[in-house]
Structure 1
Amino acid sequence: MNIKELEYFQDLVEKRNFSIVAADFKVSQPTITMAIKRLEAELNTILFMRDPGRNHLSVTTSGKQLAVHVAAILNHLEIAKNQINSINHQKIKFGLPPIIGQKYFPQLAALLNQHDLLNQVISVERGSAELINLLNNGSLDLALLGSVVPLNQESLHAQEFAQSNFKIIVSQNSPLASLTKISFKELKGQSFITLSENFVHDKALKQLSHLNHFRPKIIFKSNDPQVVQRMVQNDVGISLLAETAITEDVHAIELADDSQPHFHMSIAYRSDHLITDFERQVIDWILNLTNYH
C-alpha cells in the first residue's frame, strides 16, 4: 500500500469511473485497476462492485470504511507537507482577522522589524471562522482569532490574550446618542448594519437576538468594520461592534443585559503542530503586548 494507491482509491470513490480516474492522474486505466486490486489483496476484501450490464461501479461497505480513513490519512499528509514547507523556508503563515489584526499586529510588526524578522511572516487576512478552517487544514501555522466564548477545540491549542465587550454604536446625531446604557430588547425595530457571517459579531448578534426573542432588522452586511462604522456615523443605521474595534467618531452604548456575549481574542495553532522557536517568540510577544497571562 502506498500513497499514490490511496489517492487513486479516493478519486475512484468520488468519480466511480476507472477511465476518468486514469485521465485525472495521466496514467493508463490498467494502472488504476491494478492499484485497486493490490489494495483489495492487502486488505483481503472487495472495495468496489461492478455491474457490467449497467456499466455501474458501487463502493462496498468495506470500501466506504476505507474511504473514511484514507481521507484522514491524505489530509494529515497534506498538513504535514504544509508544516514542513514552512519550517524549511523559516516562514510563519500567520492568520489575522481584520479587527484583531488592526489592533495588535502593528505593535507585533514593530517587534518583528526590530529583530529583522518581519519578512519571515506571511499574513493571511480573513474572518476568524475562515482562519480556523485554514488552521485545521494546515494552511496556517498561527492565527489570532476572535470568539464569543473561550476557544475550546480539540484540534487547536488556543491561548486567550485579551477580551472586549460588545457595544451598540450609533451616530452622534441619533436619538439614542444621549444614552450610556441600553438593553438589547429596546433595539427591536432599529435598522442594523452588521458584519458578515465570517465575523464573530454575526454569532454575537444571533445570540443576543435569541436571548431577547426577536430577529433584528438587518439592512446591510459588510466585510469591512470601517465601512460599518462610517455608515453608522452617517446615521444609516446602528451596529453591534466589539469595543476594541471602535475607531470612528460614533457614540458607543453599553449593553445592560445580564446575559451577553463577550469578544474573546486568542492566539492559536494546531494541537499536533510542533512549535518552532520563532513561533514561540511570536506567541510570547503577543502575550507580553497585552499583559494577559
Structure 2
Amino acid sequence: MKDKDLKIFNELVKLKSFTKTAEYFDVTQPTISLTIKRLEKQFHNKLIYQTSNQSAIMLTNAGHVLYLKSEEILAELGKLKYDVEHANDRLLRVAFCGFGGDRYMADIVERFNQQGLINMLDTRHELASTAFKELDHGELDAMVYSWSSPVSNPKYVINNIAKGELVMIVSNSHHFAYRNTISINELKHEKFLIRESGNYTREVLLSLCNNAGFKPEIAFTAKSRQLMIQLVEKGIGIALVIDKLVEDNHHIKVIRLPEEQKRWMYVQIAVRKDLIPNKKQSKGIKILNKFHTDDALN
C-alpha cells in the first residue's frame, strides 16, 4: 500500500467528490478511481458507494474503518517524516499556554540557560486547545499549560509542576476586605472584572454565579490578567483569579471560597511520547521532565 493511495482516499472522503479530489492532487479523475479500486482489491472489501453518478460519496463499514485508521497512519507518517528530516536539529518546539505558561516559562528558559541550552528552545505562545492538536500531529514537541483538571494521556509524558487555587480578590478599601472566606452567594450585588470569552476563570465565575442563582454584573472585560488585577487595585470591581498570580501583591485582599465552591488550576508540562530525540534534544527533554517548583504537585 502506498502512502499516496491513503492520502487520496482520505481526501476523497473529506471532499466527497472524485472531481474535486482529482483537482486537489492535480491528477485525472480516472487516477482517483484506479486508486480506490486498488485499495478495495488490497483490502478485499468495497470501501465506497454512490446512489447515483451525481450523488455524494458514501462509506461502507470497511471504508469507515479505513478512513479512521488512515487519519492515524497519515498523522504518524507526518511526525515520522519531520523527526527523521530533523534528526540533527538542536531545537525543541515548546508552546506555553495560559496561566501555567505565563507563570513558569521564564523559569524553564532559565534552566535551559543554566545548562547552556537556551538556543535549543523554539517557543510559541498559544491557546492550550491549539497546542494540544499540534502536539498530537507532531507539530510541537512539548507544551507548558494550565488546565482545570490534571491531563492524563498515554500519548504524552506528563510532568505535574503546580496547582493553583481560584480565589476572589478585592481592593484593600473594599467593604469585604476584612473577610478571609466568602461564598459566591454573597456577591450578587457586586461588580465583577472578568477576562475575555474562553478564559478559564471567566467560565468558572459564570458557572459559580449561575449555580448561586444570579447573573453577575460585569464592570469591565480585561484583555490581560495584569490589567484585571490593576483594576481591582483601583476599586473598579472584584475578580476571580488564581492565587499564585497575586501572592506577593500587597494592594489587594485575597478571599478564599468555601470548600464546596473551591476550584483549582493544574499546571503541567506535556512532552510528546513518540518523539525520539537526538542526544542534544535529550538534554532538553530531561529538563522538561524533571522541572519542578516549590509548589509541585504530590
Scaled by the length of structure 2, the TM-score of the pair is 0.84
Q: Which residue of 1 aligns with 2:286?
A: 281
Q: Distance in 2 between matches of 1:184 and 1:148?
A: 19
CA-CA distance at 1:57 after TM superposition: 3.5
Distance change (3 Å), C-alpha of 1:56 and 1:96: closer
CA-CA distance at 1:100 after TM superposition: 2.7
Unaligned runs of 5+ in 1: none
Q: Distance in 2 between matches of 1:19 and 1:3?
A: 20
- For the 8 Å contact 2:163–2:295, the answer to whether it is kept is no
* Identity within the alignment, %: 22
Q: Which residue of 1 aligns with 2:227?
A: 227
CA-CA distance at 1:240 after TM superposition: 0.8
Q: Distance in 2 between matches of 1:75 and 1:88?
A: 21
Number of equivalences = 292
Q: Which residue of 2 aligns with 1:68?
A: 68
Deviations 1:96-124 (A, max 9, x none): 12433333222332332233321210112
- For the 8 Å contact 1:108–1:285, the answer to whether it is kept is no
Deviations 1:254-284 (A, max 9, x none): 2141131222211112344446522333225
Amino acid at match of 1:50: Q
CA-CA distance at 1:150 after TM superposition: 2.5
CA-CA distance at 1:42 after TM superposition: 0.6
Q: Distance in 1 between matches of 2:56 and 2:111?
A: 61
- For the 8 Å contact 1:232–1:250, the answer to whether it is kept is no
Cα RMSD of the aligned pairs, angstroms, is 2.8
Q: Which moved more, 1:118-127 or 1:268-277?
A: 268-277
- Which SS does the other structure have where 1:45 is aligned? coil
Q: Which residue of 2 aligns with 1:254?
A: 255
Q: Distance in 1 between matches of 2:295 and 2:191?
A: 38
Q: Distance in 2 between matches of 1:139 and 1:219?
A: 40
Scaled by the length of structure 1, the TM-score of the pair is 0.85
In the TM superposition, 1:111-150 aligns within 5 A as: 111-150=111-150
- Which SS does the other structure have where 2:72 is aligned? helix
Q: Distance in 2 between matches of 1:39 and 1:30?
A: 14
Q: Which residue of 1 aligns with 2:240?
A: 240
- Which SS does the other structure have where 1:131 is aligned? helix
In the TM superposition, 1:1-293 aligns within 5 A as: 1-52=1-52, 54=54, 56-84=56-84, 87-196=87-196, 198-205=198-205, 208-209=208-209, 212-218=212-218, 220-246=220-246, 250-259=251-260, 260-274=262-276, 276-283=281-288, 286-287=291-292, 289-290=293-294, 292=296
Unaligned runs of 5+ in 2: none
Distance change (3 Å), C-alpha of 1:131 and 1:54: closer
Distance change (3 Å), C-alpha of 1:51 and 1:149: closer
Q: Which moved more, 1:216-225 or 1:144-153?
A: 216-225
Deviations 1:190-242 (A, max 9, x none): 23222345544245435644664544344544452112222323333221111
Q: Which contiguous aligned blocks of 4+ residues in structure 1 show a shift greater than 6 angstroms?
A: none
Q: Distance in 1 between matches of 2:225 and 2:93?
A: 23
- For the 8 Å contact 1:229–1:250, the answer to whether it is kept is no
